Amino acid sequence: MKHFVILMACLAVLCVQPADAALFSATPTADGYALHEYDTSNPWYGLNTTSTDLYVSVGDLIEARSALEFNISSVPSGFTIQSATLYLYASLSDANIGVYGYIGNGTIELGDFTDILPMTTAFDPGPVNVIDVTGFVSGLFPSGTNFVGFQLKELNPPDYNDFFSSEAGIESLRPRLEIVYAPASVPEPSTMLLLGSGLIGLVGYGRRRMKK
């Protein structure tokens, strides 16, 4: 009896076959930077969404932050996000960048530079930056969000960082979001039939023991 139960458990594991994963890759729908008088409550200003640069810095008086938004509507609903990775390429890098995820709308606005966003992750930038944002993107995906945004903020002033934007002349230096997704695992019909037959046999075996 014990061996039979173990066999049925193994069949239950085998009957679920992993589906092939697919890759979504896109440059930002919109990106840009804005300026702010550092350590004040004054509003953000100087929004620039056409520059080839995304500035993330804090000097003596002025702070610059950048934001990027990606359209993820082509990732099929009902699928599982296996990984999400943000790629950023820098022409000037220092240290201590915070990444703040938010629900976007496909445009960069001054409101995207707010301080109220929870931090998704942080990294010390270099020429090539590979940033894991899986937890944030997978958490948003079930809600049917079309646009995912990321604010970039300097955490340890004074520091100066300059990333290439979606307007960069060299395509390979533009920011990119990659999402690996797959449908939920589905039972394989032939194995399910085998499992069902085994379970029926197990029920019959149990009834015979009860009669004895």
The pLDDT tens digits of the residues spanning 110-122 come to 999 988 899 999 9
Q: Which helix (H) or strand (E) holds 45?
A: strand 45-48
Contact yes or no for 94/125 (Cβ under 8 A):
yes
Q: Is 85 exposed, middle or buried (0-12, 13-18, 19+ CB in 10 A)?
A: middle
Would you say residue 137 has pLDDT above 90? yes
pLDDT band for position 141 (cuts 50, 70, 90) = confident
CA distance 169 to 157: 29
Contact yes or no for 101/122 (Cβ under 8 A):
no
What fold characterizes domain 19-185? Answer: Jelly Rolls (2.60.120)
Contact yes or no for 67/109 (Cβ under 8 A):
no
Higher pLDDT, 100 or 141: 100
Map residue 8 onto helix, strand or coil.
helix
Q: What is the pTM of this model?
A: 0.79
